[in-house]
Amino acid sequence: MRQPKLTLTIEKAIYGGAGLARVPADGAARGGKTVFIPMTLPGEIVEVEIQTEKKQFANATLLRVIQPSPARIEPRCQHYGVCGGCDYQHATVESQIEIKRSILQESLDRAGIRKLQPELPAIQLHTAAPWEYRNRIRLHVTLLEGRIRLGYTRAHTNQIVPIRECPISSPLLMRAAFALESAAYEDLAALDLLSSTAEVELLCTADESALQITLSARDENSTNPKLDALQNSLRETLPQLRSLAWRGNSDADGIDYLLGTADYRIPHGAFFQANRHLLPELLACVTTSRSGSSAWDLYSGVGLFARALAGKYSSVTAVESSLASLPALRHNLAGISADCSIHHAETNSFLKQAQLRRLPAPEYVVLDPPRAGLGPDVCRALAAIAPPEIAYVSCDPPTLARDMATLIADGYRCTQLHLFDMFPQTSHIEAVALLKK
């Protein structure tokens, strides 16, 4: 049964990309209900259709914009609104960053941080080129009309949308994607190989001088065929290709990513920050003007922050739970004058052991946890160890705000807040909070 159309005014943008509106409280069945509508902007009057409905809220589809925001523009990408990757291509870059600033601020306010620390620092904004910034993309593989096609998932579904462009991606990554499609069309062996592939991850260096391709098999228990022939074929059109491997292949070298004066080894499938333009500024924010005897990097990954800190502190401890990242972490911290120790452990376990062993508190701790954040156990353990200064790098404002509230309640004060627009055109937010005891 088709739902009735509603005319609503967008009150604000919310985390995740949608706009929030409320059904007027006029006695109607939905009076006062909150409605979330993607591809809308604050202040707009829109016509929508309810798609799913819960007791307290509803999700709706935008039918038309009756009164547009002055910030509304034409999207650049032909796939926008179908592909689920971008949320804000209909908004100016300036309005996007203001939306993200307001969402970060609201997340902090909702967590009650102003009650704990009334004088919060202003949010400092960091931006860079809003297009062609991604150094890494992950594409799904599908067979369409007898041809291998690569694409993203359709918004709110598992359906794959083949793509012909991705304006937020490094151009080299798009050329690599199309080269893979062409290889499968021209060569039966390449077709068979890519037909057994579920996903392709493409990673390039900031200057596009080097490229690596990681394939994920549809059946993880299958025997993965060798990729030598495909790699040799691709190098004719992609001379930047350095490594092609199946995910989980520990023998593959990966790629070396130059950042400042340091080369970082990034193995196939490992996490690395995706904005090639803004990454140096993020690294500088966390590590510049730092020095001393001891620093900890507690979610180290391949050692992005630990490597930079090792040139500034006499002793650096890197903690990482992923086995896949450890070889690259060891490689990236090898041959450095600082005393570097690497621990394969969950952060909470490491901190508990540090307490039991009565390890002296480091002067500086860097935290870059996954989206779930630290959680109460890690926050309490950190507060007990009491490092004098913490840098918290977060990709999720609600969990950042939750953890900051815990740390501030335990005696820390937030001295700096930074918002890095690492993902223009999308709703993702990267933030850095500096806290002192």
Please list, in sequence order, all residues whose beta carbon lies within 8 angstroms of the beta carbon of residue 385, skipping any fewer than 6 positions away. 351, 354, 355, 359, 361
Any long-range contacts for 352-360 (C-beta under 8 Å, 24+ apart)? Answer: 352/381, 354/381, 354/385, 355/381, 355/384, 355/385, 359/385, 360/294
- Reported residue count of the chain is 437
pLDDT for the residue numbered 220? 73
E strands, 54-196, are: 57-67, 123-126, 136-144, 147-153, 160-162
pLDDT for the residue numbered 335? 81
- Amino acid type, 366: V
Q: Which of these, 324, 298, 293, lies nearest to 310 by C-alpha position?
A: 293
Per DSSP, 80 falls in state B
Give start-end residues of each CATH 2.40.50.140 domain in the chain.
5-67
> Which of helix, strand or coil describes residue 256?
strand
Tell me the sheet residues that pair with 215: 200, 246
pLDDT for the residue numbered 1? 56
CATH architecture type of domain 100-129+275-436:
3-Layer(aba) Sandwich (3.40)
* Tens place of pLDDT per residue across the chain (437 aa): 566 789 999 999 999 999 999 998 765 666 789 999 999 999 999 999 999 888 889 999 999 999 999 999 999 999 999 999 999 999 999 999 999 999 999 999 999 999 999 999 999 999 999 999 999 999 999 999 889 999 999 988 889 999 999 999 999 999 999 999 999 999 988 999 999 999 999 999 999 999 999 999 998 766 678 898 899 889 999 999 999 999 988 788 889 999 988 999 999 988 899 999 999 999 999 999 999 999 999 999 999 999 999 989 999 999 999 988 999 999 999 988 779 999 999 999 999 999 999 999 999 999 999 999 999 999 999 999 999 999 999 999 999 999 999 999 999 999 999 999 999 999 999 999 999 99
CA atoms within 13 Å, Cβ hemisphere of 412: 27
Please tell me the distance from the alpha carbon of residue 343 to that of residue 354, in angstroms, as a whole number. 12
Q: Which of these, 47, 38, 267, 51, lies nearest to 155 by C-alpha position?
A: 38
Any long-range contacts for 232-237 (C-beta under 8 Å, 24+ apart)? Answer: 233/183, 233/187, 233/190, 234/176, 234/179, 234/180, 234/183, 237/175, 237/179, 237/182
pLDDT for the residue numbered 269? 87
Domain 5-67 top-level CATH class: mainly beta
Please tell me the distance from the alpha carbon of residue 220 to that of residue 217, in angstroms, as a whole number. 6
CA atoms within 13 Å, Cβ hemisphere of 409: 13
Helices (H), 133-288: 171-186, 188-195, 228-237, 279-287
Report strand pairing: 45-53 vs 57-67. antiparallel
With left for phi above 0 and alpha for psi between -120 and 50, is residue 293 left, alpha or beta? alpha
pLDDT for the residue numbered 253? 83
- Burial string for 311-349 (b: 16+ CB within 10 Å, else e) reads bbbebbbbbbbeebbbbbbbbbbeebebebebbeeebbe
Please tell me the distance from the alpha carbon of residue 106 to that of residue 100, in angstroms, as a whole number. 10
- pTM score, two decimals? 0.94
Give the right CATH number for 136-256 from 2.40.50.1070, 3.40.50.300, 3.60.21.10, 3.40.50.720: 2.40.50.1070
